[in-house]
A and B are shown apart, each in its own frame.
Chain A
Amino acid sequence: MSAPDLHQMGVAELAQAIADKKTSSTEATRHLLARAKQHEALGAYLAVNEEVSLAQARAADARIAAGERTPLLGVPIAHKDIFVTRDFPTTAGSKMLAGYRSPFDATVVARLGQQGAVTLGKLNCDEFAMGSGNDNSAFGPARNPWDPARVPGGSSGGSAAVVAARLAPAVTGTDTGGSIRQPAGFCGVTGIKPTYGRCSRYGMVAFASSLDQAGPMARSAADCATLLTAMAGPDIDRDSTSLDHPAEDYGRLLGTAWGEGRDGASAAQPLKGLRIGIPEEWMNWADDAPTTDQRVSGDVTLQVSGALKQLEALGASLRRIRLPRTEMSIPAYYIIAPAEASSNLSRYDGVKFGHRAAKYDDLLDMYKKSRSEAFGAEVQRRIMIGTYVLSHGYYDAYYLKAQQIRRLIAQDFRAAFAECDLIAGPVAPTVAWKIGELADDPVAAYLADIYTLPASLAGLPCMSVPAGLGATSGLPVGLQLVGDYLKEAELLQVAHALQQATDWHTHAPAGY
């Protein structure tokens, strides 16, 4: 098998080729590491270690030689640098943790490793996952393979870039307010954030504990299902917020008819009976002329509408629903997430690990200097916001109110799922912006999170599926799908049906 084909393969294909001994894990790993080096300018990787990766690959090859088979055996993947790893440094994109080495692997990393996946390295991200452009990384920006002058999205920007640029068939990401879905949308790849609690947070550098959730990103829904099946599952001895639900095969509904065919779904119309709700607060859905808010770009409106029509053609019925507190999700999120972050990041004090200022006068000065030197501007901004909203006298007005709104948003979804099986709309109002474009306007970046925040606040499973390239920009647009709690398999089933009928997810940026 010739090397160039290896990086074009998805997870399933590559696993099959390795299992069939048409190639080896070692060969695939070597090839993808070389490719990562070749595309260093993307800024996607923060750490690689050829020796470690090749040792893992040889171990996988040995397992294959011994007759073992798993859907991920020998498949090289890479991890967002938010997951702690024993064999690679973990920085969370922050100077604070430069050179930090964890004595243990994150549960998600360990589970993928047990399934035989090989780790290629650690991926760039916004500092402590705070950002939507991957331009808040202390180690420089990751770039969008579709246009290196543009952001790949964030915070899992390096993850999305690597998948789009064919540097790895699949990666891990984390999503707090859209950090898997938005970069997946900006880079034209598929990503899923499962129900809060599906994936263990043990070993994920915490940003906002009540929102953080891990998920896979890949080039197809089917490959995402394979990774999610390996990553998810209860971990109640290490993460108290881990859901105590038995492990699931998230790919079990792929290629099957919706509702097991009860509503007349067939091979031609596999989604017959599926009711898709379009929130009017996200996009105004009228039969012929779908419109969106003026803030939403024409490219996004057109591509998302096209994808919805495609789902309709597959048998789904589209209906208007309401999510009336959509706009309130922005202030609610930007109170709750910074509040939790301000507390979660208190451990970085220069005492035990992480950056400590070289010179200081006393203890307080050591705290101030260490933290001021090592935290970037966006992290400092959120720590300050979070500290403020939790302060005595402000708690009720901000944090408590935001929690109340959060509950109302979850109620809105509950009401909506009484009328539909799945919710669809845009991932983001625009395509990827230029690096630096929003650097001086953090609020504009916050506002752009409007479509991803509601599902995060409600803890619902949601994903981003490629919806083709914008006619004007030539850049990828993502379709967002949101399911009810624990409906990951249904989400993946619908995304897979769409990908069976279209080729949007197969588009590669020029030169990759």
Chain B
Amino acid sequence: MKLLVVEDEALLRHHLYTRLGEQGHVVDAVANAEEALYRVDEYHHDLAVIDLGLPGISGLDLIRQLRSRDKTFPILILTARGNWQDKVEGLASGADDYVVKPFQFEELEARLNALLRRSSGFIQSTIEAGPLLLDMNRKQALIDGTSMGLTAYEYRILEYLMRHHQQVVPKERLIEQLYPDDEERDPNVIEVLVGRLRRKLESCNGFKPIETVRGQGYLFTERCR
């Protein structure tokens, strides 16, 4: 998933960038609201973590501006005060959940995952599509109970396609899921990865849930639940 982290404290920003990256997310970590607004206009994000105590444009104003720009991704706020005034204002202005500083990364991760699941319409931490079962906690794909042995990148692509089942996902979006914006991107890599993924899925009774929509991207045709 591509996440936006807006935190002015460099060390904490770096910590979130590293830890979330380790969890398989592609992280856009910025220090202020202006940069965050630029990033959301340029890239597609699946979730944002926003500190309320930002310098300049406050975290609350940033959330309002994001919502006014029709950005519907879930927003998790980080608050230092932790009082209900801040929480209510943050949630009323468009955030979906909050974490009070200092926090344990596991708590933040649990809340992030819950928001991501919710935003793609899944309450459980597993997604089922025919014989395929995706365990988002273990970052594992199973067919008929047997692990598919996916690489980290293959898993990310499969999870993204399954979360957005019945929707055409552009190739560029999938690239964003794999690489941070400042890394060199090669569109052919996606084709190679999707090809490998298809082969692994087909190896099980010819299961073909991924279709190519010419000139637009990929479509996960199987209904997920």
A and B from one complex? no
Listed in ascending order, the chain A residues whose CB lies under 8 Å from chain B are: none
Binding site for A on B (CB under 8 A): none
